Amino acid sequence: MQYRSTRGQRTCSFLESFLEGLAKDGGLFLPVSLPVFDETRIRSFAKMEFTELAFELLKVFVDGEIPDEDLLAIVTRSFATFQHEEVTPTQHVSHDLSILELFYGPTLAFKDVALQLIGNLYEYVAQKQQVAINILAATSGDTGAAAIYGVRGKKGISICVLYPYGKISPIQERQMLAVTDENVKTLAIEGNFDDCQRMVKQLFTDEKARDQLSLRAVNSINFVRIIVQMVYYFYAYGHSKQSDTLSGLSFSVPTGNFGNIFSAYLAKRMGLPIDRLIIATNANDILARFVATGIYQPHNFKTTYSPAMDIQVASNFERYLFYLYGEDSQRLTTLMDDFARTGKLAVDADALRQVQQDFIAYSVDDATCLQTIQHVQKEHDYLLDPHTACAVAAFEKARQHDQVVTPILCLATAHPIKFPDAMQKVGAQAKEPDAIAHLHNLSYHVEPMAQDLAVLQDKLQSFFA
C-alpha cells in the first residue's frame, strides 16, 4: 500500500511513512487509496478477539512490508500489557449509557493502545534496518507517559518528551519521572502544550536538524497511531451487545488533537456502520466552533479539568480537511498556508454542510464536566474521569436535541485516578489500580527550561548521541 502526504509532494511505503511521521513537505500521511470492507468482512471482524482483529486490520495497512508472523508477534506483545482480557471492554453503565473503556494499559490512558504497539514496531524496525530511532514528542500529559512506557528499555530507541511545566497532573508527571531507563528523558518547558508542540514541530520541519538528530514522531501526526486506534471501533462494533445487527452505532469522543475521532471517521469511510460521531471538547472549543460556523480559529488558551484536551490547534485536523476538500492537495495546501499566515481558516457553505453531516460537536465547560461526573456516580455508581465526562455530557446534549437515535458508546480515555483535582472537587475517591501504587514514594526535582530552540537542540544532541 502506498502512502501520500496531504500536501501532495511525498509518496512512500508503510514503513517509510511510519519512520517519517510528519511528511517532509509539512503534510500528514494517508493511504493513497483507503481500503473499504464489505459487510461480510465487517461481520468477520466482529467475531474476532481484540488481538486477532488488530492483526487483521494492521495487515491491510502494512501490506506485506512486515512478514505476518513478525507482525502477529508485535501485535500480541503490545496488547499483552493490558490489564483486561478484552483490552478495550464496553461497560453498560445503564440502559442508555455505555462506556468503551480504553484505560487498561500501563499508563491508564487510551494512548497506550497505539503507543504500546508503536514502541514494539520501532524496536522491530531499528533492528531490521539498523537505523537510529530518536523519538521526540510533546505531551499535554498522557502521550508522554504512554510513549515512554511504549519504548522504555527497548533496544535501538531513545525518547525525549517535552511537557508544559505545572500543567499536567502530579500522577502524569510521576509516571514519566518514575522511568529511569537510560533511553528515556523528560524536559519540563515553561509554557503550555501548544508551545511544546510548536518546538517539536519546528525541529521536525527543519530538515537539517531532523536528519542530524534522526528524529521520529509518536505524536498523533504518525499515521500508525490512527490505524491502531481504529481497532477498538471495529472491536466495539462487534462486542458491545447493542449492535447484534449491522445497524449503525454512534460514538462520543473526548477530543483534543483530533486523532482519536479521526480514527473513527476513517473507520466509517472504510465501511464500519457508524451513524453519528460526536466531538466532545472542553472550554478549548475550536472544533465545536468550527462545526457550528465553518471557521477554524484559535481563541484564548484555557486550563481545564481535562488537560489532555487543552489544545488550540488540533494537529490531525488537516487529515480531515484533506477529505473534506475531495483529496485535493493543492486546495488543501493553499488553505493551510492561509491558516499559517492569518491564523484563521474558513470553509464554504457546501463544505460546512458536509462537516455537519460528518460530526456533531459540543463544548463542555468545567462546571458541566464536574456535574456530569457527580450525577453519573450518584445514579449509576460509575466514576468518570474528566475527559470521559466531557464525552458523556456532549452525548447528553446531543440527546436533548434529538441528534442521536442509534445506540451510542462514550469513549473513556483515561482512568479517574489520574485526575485527583477533579475528583477532589466532586468529593469522589477513585480506586487506585495496582499499576501505579509505586508512584507514591517517588521523590523528584524538576528544573523547567525556557522555550529556547537552540538550547533544546543542544540537549537533544548530547542525549541522543
Ligand X SMILES: *Cc1c(COP(=O)(O)O)cnc(C)c1O
Answer yes or no: are the C-beta atoms of 439 and 108 closer than 8 Å: no
Which of residues 159, 168, 227, 414 is near ligand X by CB under 6 A?
414
Residue closer to ligand X by CB (options 109, 135) is 109
Residue closer to ligand X by CB (options 45, 193) is 193
Q: Which amino acid is at 146?
A: A
H helices within 47-110, ranges in order?
Answer: 50-62, 68-79
Which of residues 183, 257, 284, 368 is near ligand X by CB under 6 A?
257
Answer yes or no: are the C-beta atoms of 118 and 222 closer than 8 Å: yes
Q: Which amino acid is at 256?
A: G
Answer yes or no: are the C-beta atoms of 141 and 195 closer than 8 Å: no
3-state secondary structure of 255: coil
User: Which residues inside 262-281 make contact with ligand X, applying CB under 6 A?
Assistant: none
User: Which residues inside 307-326 make contact with ligand X, applying CB under 6 A?
Assistant: 308-309
Residue closer to ligand X by CB (options 6, 252) is 252
Is 413 near ligand X (CB under 6 A)? Answer: yes
Residue closer to ligand X by CB (options 51, 220) is 220
Is 255 near ligand X (CB under 6 A)? Answer: yes
Alpha-carbon gap, residue 329 to 334, rounded angstroms: 9
Give the active site residue among 111, 167, 185, 397.
111
Binding piece for ligand X, criterion CB under 6 A, among 18-26, 183-191, 256-264, 338-346: 256-264
Handedness of CA 391, 394, 400, 403 (dihedral sign): negative
C-beta of 358: minimal distance to ligand X in Å? 15
Size of site (CB under 6 A) for ligand X: 16
Which of residues 6, 120, 197, 260 is near ligand X by CB under 6 A?
260
Which of residues 10, 185, 268, 387 is near ligand X by CB under 6 A?
387
User: Which residues inside 97-156 make contact with ligand X, applying CB under 6 A?
Assistant: 109, 111, 142
**Annotated catalytic, 185?**
no
Give residues with Cβ within 8 angstroms of 349, minimum separation 6: 294
Which of residues 26, 144, 150, 259 is near ligand X by CB under 6 A?
259
Residue closer to ligand X by CB (options 276, 387) is 387
Is 22 near ligand X (CB under 6 A)? Answer: no
- Please report which helix (H) or strand (E) contains residue 322, including its range: helix 317-324
User: Which residues inside 31-90 make contact with ligand X, applying CB under 6 A?
Assistant: none
Task: With CA atoms as reference, report the closest residue to 192 among 239, 146, 256.
Answer: 256
Which of residues 258, 296, 305, 317 is near ligand X by CB under 6 A?
258
For residue 70, the number of C-alpha atoms closer than 13 Å in the C-beta half-sphere is: 14
C-beta of 443: minimal distance to ligand X in Å? 26
Residue closer to ligand X by CB (options 62, 138) is 138
C-beta of 349: minimal distance to ligand X in Å? 27
Residue found by looking up cell 470553509 in the block? 347
Binding piece for ligand X, criterion CB under 6 A, among 62-70, 150-158, 251-259, 366-374: 251-259
Q: What is the dihedral of CA 416, 419, 424, 429, to 10 degrees?
A: 30
Q: Which amino acid is at 320?
A: Y
Tally: H helices and E strands in the chain: 19, 15
Is 17 near ligand X (CB under 6 A)? Answer: no
Handedness of CA 134, 135, 138, 141 (dihedral sign): negative
Alpha-carbon gap, residue 94 to 374, rounded angstroms: 15
50-to-39, 57, 132, 230, 320 alpha-carbon distances in Å = 19, 11, 31, 11, 27
Residue closer to ligand X by CB (options 10, 319) is 319
Binding map of ligand X across residues 212-241, x = CB under 6 A, - = no contact: --------x---------------------
Answer yes or no: are the C-beta atoms of 6 and 329 closer than 8 Å: yes
Which of residues 256, 272, 393, 395 is near ligand X by CB under 6 A?
256
* Cβ neighbourhood burial of 395 (10 Å; 0-12, 13-18, 19+): buried
Q: Which three cell numbers stand for residue 251?
A: 460514538
Binding piece for ligand X, criterion CB under 6 A, among 169-177, 191-199, 253-261, 338-346: 253-261
Residue closer to ligand X by CB (options 193, 234) is 193
3-state secondary structure of 185: strand
Binding map of ligand X across residues 421-440, x = CB under 6 A, - = no contact: --------------------
Active site residues: 111
Contact residues: ligand X, CB under 6 A? 109, 111, 142, 220, 254-260, 308-309, 387, 413-414
